Structure 1
Protein backbone atom coordinates (compact mmCIF):
# COMPACT_ATOMS: atom_id res chain seq x y z
CA UNK A 1 0.00 0.00 0.00
CA UNK A 2 1.41 3.35 -1.08
CA UNK A 3 0.34 6.40 0.92
CA UNK A 4 0.24 9.88 -0.56
CA UNK A 5 2.47 11.64 1.99
CA UNK A 6 1.19 15.22 1.46
CA UNK A 7 -2.43 14.03 1.81
CA UNK A 8 -1.60 12.09 4.97
CA UNK A 9 0.37 14.90 6.61
CA UNK A 10 -2.10 17.59 5.56
CA UNK A 11 -5.02 15.66 7.00
CA UNK A 12 -3.22 14.79 10.24
CA UNK A 13 -2.07 18.38 10.84
CA UNK A 14 -5.51 19.75 10.00
CA UNK A 15 -7.15 17.15 12.22
CA UNK A 16 -4.88 18.06 15.13
CA UNK A 17 -5.84 21.71 14.77
CA UNK A 18 -9.56 20.90 14.67
CA UNK A 19 -9.26 18.51 17.63
CA UNK A 20 -7.86 21.32 19.74
CA UNK A 21 -11.45 22.61 19.97
CA UNK A 22 -12.92 19.73 22.02
CA UNK A 23 -9.76 19.64 24.14
CA UNK A 24 -10.12 23.38 24.86
CA UNK A 25 -13.81 22.87 25.67
CA UNK A 26 -12.98 20.13 28.16
CA UNK A 27 -14.35 17.22 26.12
CA UNK A 28 -11.44 14.76 26.10
CA UNK A 29 -13.64 11.78 25.18
CA UNK A 30 -14.88 13.61 22.08
CA UNK A 31 -11.26 14.48 21.24
CA UNK A 32 -10.29 10.81 21.63
CA UNK A 33 -13.12 9.65 19.35
CA UNK A 34 -12.21 12.40 16.91
CA UNK A 35 -8.54 11.39 16.97
CA UNK A 36 -9.38 7.80 16.06
CA UNK A 37 -11.57 9.06 13.21
CA UNK A 38 -8.93 11.52 11.93
CA UNK A 39 -6.17 8.90 11.89
CA UNK A 40 -8.32 6.26 10.17
CA UNK A 41 -9.79 8.68 7.62
CA UNK A 42 -6.38 10.24 6.94
CA UNK A 43 -4.80 6.86 6.22
CA UNK A 44 -7.79 5.91 4.04
CA UNK A 45 -7.55 9.13 2.01
CA UNK A 46 -3.75 8.88 1.69
CA UNK A 47 -4.03 5.25 0.53
CA UNK A 48 -6.73 6.13 -1.98
CA UNK A 49 -4.75 9.04 -3.40
CA UNK A 50 -1.58 6.93 -3.34
CA UNK A 51 -3.02 4.85 -6.16
CA UNK A 52 -1.81 5.64 -9.65
CA UNK A 53 -5.24 6.48 -11.03
CA UNK A 54 -8.74 7.03 -9.74
CA UNK A 55 -11.86 7.11 -11.86
CA UNK A 56 -14.40 9.84 -11.19
CA UNK A 57 -16.64 7.31 -9.47
CA UNK A 58 -13.78 6.12 -7.25
CA UNK A 59 -12.84 9.67 -6.37
CA UNK A 60 -16.44 10.47 -5.43
CA UNK A 61 -16.53 7.38 -3.23
CA UNK A 62 -13.18 8.33 -1.67
CA UNK A 63 -14.68 11.68 -0.64
CA UNK A 64 -18.05 10.26 0.41
CA UNK A 65 -16.79 7.40 2.60
CA UNK A 66 -15.05 9.51 5.29
CA UNK A 67 -17.90 12.02 5.24
CA UNK A 68 -20.47 9.25 5.81
CA UNK A 69 -18.26 7.84 8.57
CA UNK A 70 -18.20 11.30 10.19
CA UNK A 71 -22.01 11.46 9.99
CA UNK A 72 -22.21 8.04 11.66
CA UNK A 73 -19.77 9.03 14.42
CA UNK A 74 -21.58 12.29 15.18
CA UNK A 75 -24.97 10.57 15.11
CA UNK A 76 -23.85 7.98 17.64
CA UNK A 77 -22.18 10.61 19.83
CA UNK A 78 -25.32 12.77 19.84
CA UNK A 79 -27.72 9.88 20.45
CA UNK A 80 -25.72 8.11 23.17
CA UNK A 81 -26.98 8.72 26.70
CA UNK A 82 -24.47 10.16 29.15
CA UNK A 83 -24.75 9.32 32.86
CA UNK A 84 -28.20 7.82 32.41
CA UNK A 85 -29.71 10.98 30.93
CA UNK A 86 -31.73 10.64 27.77
CA UNK A 87 -30.31 12.16 24.63
CA UNK A 88 -31.86 13.15 21.33
CA UNK A 89 -33.80 10.48 19.47
CA UNK A 90 -32.05 8.90 16.50
CA UNK A 91 -33.84 11.01 13.88
CA UNK A 92 -32.81 14.28 15.50
CA UNK A 93 -29.34 12.90 16.18
CA UNK A 94 -28.99 11.88 12.52
CA UNK A 95 -30.07 15.32 11.29
CA UNK A 96 -27.73 17.09 13.74
CA UNK A 97 -24.95 14.63 12.94
CA UNK A 98 -25.39 15.33 9.24
CA UNK A 99 -25.15 19.09 9.77
CA UNK A 100 -22.23 18.96 12.21
CA UNK A 101 -20.30 16.29 10.30
CA UNK A 102 -20.65 18.14 7.01
CA UNK A 103 -19.31 21.36 8.49
CA UNK A 104 -16.49 19.60 10.31
CA UNK A 105 -15.54 17.51 7.27
CA UNK A 106 -15.47 20.50 4.92
CA UNK A 107 -13.48 22.58 7.40
CA UNK A 108 -11.05 19.72 7.99
CA UNK A 109 -10.47 19.19 4.27
CA UNK A 110 -10.13 22.91 3.49
CA UNK A 111 -7.50 23.31 6.18
CA UNK A 112 -5.77 20.12 4.97
CA UNK A 113 -5.69 21.61 1.47
CA UNK A 114 -4.08 24.77 2.85
CA UNK A 115 -1.48 22.69 4.72
CA UNK A 116 -0.67 20.75 1.53
CA UNK A 117 -0.30 24.06 -0.37
CA UNK A 118 2.13 25.38 2.24
CA UNK A 119 4.09 22.11 2.04
CA UNK A 120 4.28 22.45 -1.75
CA UNK A 121 5.42 26.08 -1.56
CA UNK A 122 8.08 25.23 1.03
CA UNK A 123 9.35 22.30 -1.04
CA UNK A 124 9.59 24.50 -4.14
CA UNK A 125 11.37 27.28 -2.24
CA UNK A 126 13.78 24.96 -0.44
Structure 2
Protein backbone atom coordinates (compact mmCIF):
# COMPACT_ATOMS: atom_id res chain seq x y z
CA UNK A 1 0.00 0.00 0.00
CA UNK A 2 2.82 2.38 0.90
CA UNK A 3 4.56 1.60 -2.38
CA UNK A 4 1.36 2.25 -4.30
CA UNK A 5 0.90 5.70 -2.70
CA UNK A 6 4.49 6.62 -3.52
CA UNK A 7 3.98 5.40 -7.08
CA UNK A 8 0.78 7.46 -7.52
CA UNK A 9 2.35 10.61 -6.10
CA UNK A 10 5.47 10.31 -8.23
CA UNK A 11 3.43 9.42 -11.31
CA UNK A 12 1.09 12.38 -10.84
CA UNK A 13 3.99 14.83 -10.62
CA UNK A 14 5.37 13.58 -13.91
CA UNK A 15 2.28 14.64 -15.81
CA UNK A 16 1.44 17.79 -13.91
CA UNK A 17 0.70 20.91 -15.91
CA UNK A 18 3.79 22.95 -16.56
CA UNK A 19 3.49 26.30 -18.25
CA UNK A 20 6.51 27.68 -20.04
CA UNK A 21 6.83 31.45 -19.75
CA UNK A 22 9.36 33.16 -21.95
CA UNK A 23 11.33 35.43 -19.65
CA UNK A 24 12.14 37.80 -22.51
CA UNK A 25 8.43 38.43 -23.08
CA UNK A 26 7.85 39.60 -19.51
CA UNK A 27 7.52 43.36 -19.32
CA UNK A 28 8.09 45.30 -16.14
CA UNK A 29 4.96 47.35 -15.51
CA UNK A 30 6.82 49.81 -13.27
CA UNK A 31 9.34 50.50 -16.03
CA UNK A 32 6.51 50.86 -18.52
CA UNK A 33 4.81 53.35 -16.20
CA UNK A 34 8.00 55.39 -15.82
CA UNK A 35 8.58 55.49 -19.58
CA UNK A 36 5.01 56.61 -20.17
CA UNK A 37 5.44 59.67 -17.94
CA UNK A 38 7.36 61.43 -20.73
CA UNK A 39 4.72 63.64 -22.38
CA UNK A 40 4.25 63.60 -26.16
CA UNK A 41 6.55 60.64 -26.68
CA UNK A 42 4.39 57.76 -25.46
CA UNK A 43 7.40 55.58 -24.70
CA UNK A 44 5.41 53.27 -22.43
CA UNK A 45 3.69 51.70 -25.43
CA UNK A 46 6.98 51.52 -27.34
CA UNK A 47 8.52 49.68 -24.38
CA UNK A 48 5.61 47.23 -24.50
CA UNK A 49 6.21 46.86 -28.26
CA UNK A 50 2.84 48.40 -29.15
CA UNK A 51 4.20 50.71 -31.84
CA UNK A 52 0.91 51.52 -33.58
CA UNK A 53 -0.71 52.45 -30.27
CA UNK A 54 2.34 54.57 -29.42
CA UNK A 55 2.03 56.40 -32.73
CA UNK A 56 -1.71 57.01 -32.20
CA UNK A 57 -1.19 58.44 -28.71
CA UNK A 58 1.72 60.59 -29.90
CA UNK A 59 -0.26 62.00 -32.83
CA UNK A 60 -3.34 62.69 -30.73
CA UNK A 61 -1.32 64.45 -28.03
CA UNK A 62 0.57 66.47 -30.65
CA UNK A 63 -2.65 67.52 -32.38
CA UNK A 64 -4.27 68.59 -29.11
CA UNK A 65 -1.16 70.53 -28.12
CA UNK A 66 -0.89 72.28 -31.50
CA UNK A 67 -4.57 73.28 -31.41
CA UNK A 68 -4.14 74.52 -27.85
CA UNK A 69 -1.18 76.63 -28.99
CA UNK A 70 -3.13 77.95 -31.99
CA UNK A 71 -6.14 79.07 -29.91
CA UNK A 72 -3.83 80.56 -27.29
CA UNK A 73 -2.54 83.09 -29.82
CA UNK A 74 -6.03 84.38 -30.69
CA UNK A 75 -8.14 86.78 -28.65
CA UNK A 76 -11.73 86.30 -27.57
CA UNK A 77 -13.67 84.24 -25.07
CA UNK A 78 -14.54 81.55 -27.64
CA UNK A 79 -10.86 81.01 -28.41
CA UNK A 80 -10.08 80.68 -24.71
CA UNK A 81 -12.81 78.06 -24.41
CA UNK A 82 -11.38 76.14 -27.37
CA UNK A 83 -7.86 76.40 -25.93
CA UNK A 84 -9.05 74.99 -22.62
CA UNK A 85 -11.01 72.23 -24.37
CA UNK A 86 -7.92 71.09 -26.28
CA UNK A 87 -5.90 71.35 -23.08
CA UNK A 88 -8.29 68.90 -21.43
CA UNK A 89 -8.12 66.64 -24.49
CA UNK A 90 -4.32 66.65 -24.24
CA UNK A 91 -4.49 65.79 -20.55
CA UNK A 92 -7.00 63.01 -21.26
CA UNK A 93 -4.82 61.45 -23.96
CA UNK A 94 -1.76 61.74 -21.70
CA UNK A 95 -3.40 60.07 -18.69
CA UNK A 96 -4.97 57.33 -20.82
CA UNK A 97 -1.55 56.66 -22.36
CA UNK A 98 -0.04 56.24 -18.89
CA UNK A 99 -2.81 53.92 -17.71
CA UNK A 100 -2.77 51.89 -20.92
CA UNK A 101 0.99 51.32 -20.89
CA UNK A 102 0.86 50.24 -17.24
CA UNK A 103 -1.95 47.76 -17.93
CA UNK A 104 -0.14 46.39 -21.00
CA UNK A 105 2.97 45.93 -18.87
CA UNK A 106 0.98 44.02 -16.25
CA UNK A 107 -0.76 41.82 -18.82
CA UNK A 108 2.47 40.88 -20.61
CA UNK A 109 2.82 37.80 -18.40
CA UNK A 110 -0.77 36.72 -18.94
CA UNK A 111 -0.78 33.47 -20.95
CA UNK A 112 -2.12 33.69 -24.48
CA UNK A 113 -4.72 31.29 -25.78
CA UNK A 114 -3.42 28.69 -28.18
Q: TM-score, normalised by structure 1?
A: 0.38
Give the structure with higher Rg (CA). 2
The structure carrying a bigger helix percent of its residues is 1
Q: TM-score, normalised by structure 2?
A: 0.41
